Amino acid sequence: MKNLFIDMDNTAFDFTSQYLHYHYLYTGNRVIMGNEDYDFFESLGMTDENKYSYLRMEGFFETMPPMDNMVEVVNHIHHNTDFYIVFVSNAVVPEAPTGKIKCLESLFSWFHIEHNFISMGDKHLLAPGVIIDDNPYVLNNSKGHHYTIAFDHPWNRSIEVDARVYQWNDRIIDILNQIQEGK
Residue numbers of the site for Mg ion (CB under 5 A)?
Answer: 7, 9-10, 134-135
CB-wise, 42 or 82, nearer to Mg ion? Answer: 42
Q: Give the number of other CB atoms < 10 A from CB of residue 30.
A: 9
Which residue of the chain is nearest Mg ion when measured via CB? 9
CB-wise, 8 or 183, nearer to Mg ion? Answer: 8
CA atoms of 131 and 83, how far apart (whole Å): 11
CB-wise, 9 or 77, nearer to Mg ion? Answer: 9
CB-wise, 10 or 116, nearer to Mg ion? Answer: 10
Contacts 24+ apart (CB under 8 A), 100-107: 100/8, 100/61, 100/62, 100/64, 102/61, 102/62, 103/13, 103/61, 103/62, 103/63, 103/64, 106/62, 107/66, 107/71
DSSP-assigned states of every residue in 55-70: GGSTTTTTTPPBPTTH
CB-wise, 135 or 142, nearer to Mg ion? Answer: 135
Q: How far is the CB of 182 from Mg ion (least distance, A)?
A: 28
Phi, psi of 24 (to 5 degrees): -65, -45
Q: How far is the CB of 181 from Mg ion (least distance, A)?
A: 28
Nearest to 175 by CA among 159, 166, 163: 163
Q: How far is the CB of 87 from Mg ion (least distance, A)?
A: 11
